[in-house]
Structure 1
Amino acid sequence: MRVCLACFETRLAAVFENASELRLYDVCDNEIRPAGHLPLPSKDPTDTISATLACGADLLICGAMCGRTRNCLESSGLHVTPWVGGSIERVLEAFGANTLDSLVMPGCRNVRRQRGLCRSKGQGLILSRMQHFKE
């Protein structure tokens, strides 16, 4: 299995679309081995999506991600685990121990159960009201 981390310096990028590089790891027999990295000089979301799909990963672990980007990646067959934060080392340790949920960004604990955006109840109410006024 190949795992891809969307990174900024030594941490997961807080927002996938702002990642400066993709770091790749191969997982074999419960051992995680570095498999390379791919710089992302362009901030164009289409370029970032294309690079992510081209890296051959089975799983992407990243920070915040817009719904359209996630849908695009998942519809292409990539499994996405968003809303994770922390240093690369901590994320890899948590992945290996099957405890990534301990690194979920604040306010995003139920995102894995609810398909959709990470937001607090108040924000969701505000966003739904804003949508109502746009219609």
Structure 2
Amino acid sequence: MPASTPETAANLPDLVTPAAAGAAAQYSRWLAVAALLGLILLCLAWELWLAPLRPGGSWLVLKALPLCLPLAGLLKHRMYTYRWLSLLVWLYFVEGVVRAWGDAAPSRWCALAEVALCLLLFAACVLHIRGRQRAVAPASKPVAAAS
């Protein structure tokens, strides 16, 4: 594989680190990591201790496993991870809304916390993606089409 030149790296949004993209991208990165960790911990605590469906925990604790996959990508600045995580988080949002509507009080509060964390994670992912794309936009100039 040939060595990456500065021109090549500037044209690929995945290679622009949050440090090069600015303070907003760094802030949104840490916000996304914090929201994802909070969502993982909430899923574990919810199904094991706070409001399990059965005493001793339930199999719904396994819903935290898919959330562990994107954590490495967020920590390694992978733009693709932010993109697909912003779609994955809507599954957890829907689960939170459904369970907030239909579950009893202890589980309802956990579901509302899940909804809030999902919205925070989505907003952080979108802000991070936009910040990194803006950092690339001035470097790549569109070529005028020949008529």
Q: TM-score range by the shorter chain?
A: under 0.3
* Structure number having the greater strand percentage: 1
* Structure number having the greater helix percentage: 2
Calculate the TM-score normalised by the size of structure 1: 0.26
Calculate the TM-score normalised by the size of structure 2: 0.25
Q: Which has the larger radius of gyration?
A: 2
